[in-house]
Amino acid sequence: MFSKACEYAIRAMMFVSQKSKAGERVGIKAIVNGIDSPEYFMAKILQELSRKGLLQSTKGPNGGFFMDEAARKVTLDKIVSAIDGDKVFVGCGLGLKACNEKKPCPIHDEFKLIRTKLKNMLETTQIGEFTENLEKGLSYLRRN
């Protein structure tokens, strides 16, 4: 569904969002430890997210990544788009380039419905929504 890079991105954003709400900045090491992802790969992904303005960072001692209130309201589809592009949202389920309303593939309509649901879910879910459950230990971000 999503690429590994995208999965890491989402989890990292959730992690940073949680810490930011508590007023903390988090370094790459802390993030990597918090969500159990590969360090250097994660660093590149965070740079990309930062470049696209989805999270903030400051250099120097006590620097690190953080998210202001606006960033914590960013919806999941923005993160997915930033890392995976729009392929999750636009491609044909059967890989047909020219599949569209006029020349639909056989599962075009059924597939569209699923995709609309997914899109809708991603567009209405803010990254900051998970903080509470994470704090309570009702959901979690590490992979093991």
Partner DNA sequence: ATAATAAAAGACAAAATTGTCCTCTATTAT
Partner DNA sequence: ATAATAGAGGACAATTTTGTCTTTTATTAT
Q: Which helix (H) or strand (E) holds 81?
A: helix 76-84
Rg of the chain taking only CA atoms, in angstroms: 17
Note whether 57 binds DNA by CB under 7 A: yes
Contact range with a second copy by CB under 8 A, out of 1-9, 24-32, 50-58, 61-69: 1-9
Distance of closest approach, residue 37 Cβ to a second copy, in angstroms: 9
Among 1, 61, 97, 144, binds DNA (CB under 7 A): 61
Note whether 92 binds DNA by CB under 7 A: no
In the chain, what's the furthest Cα-to-Cα distance? 58
Contact range with a second copy by CB under 8 A, out of 26-34, 44-52, 60-68, 91-99: 91-99
Computed from CA positions of residues 108, 111, 115, 116, in that sequence, does the dihedral angle turn out positive or negative?
A: positive
C-alpha 12/C-alpha 55 separation (Å) is: 10
C-alpha 18/C-alpha 76 separation (Å) is: 15
Task: Summarize as ranges the residues that interact with DNA (CB under 7 A).
Answer: 3-5, 8, 26-29, 37-41, 44, 46-47, 50-51, 57-65
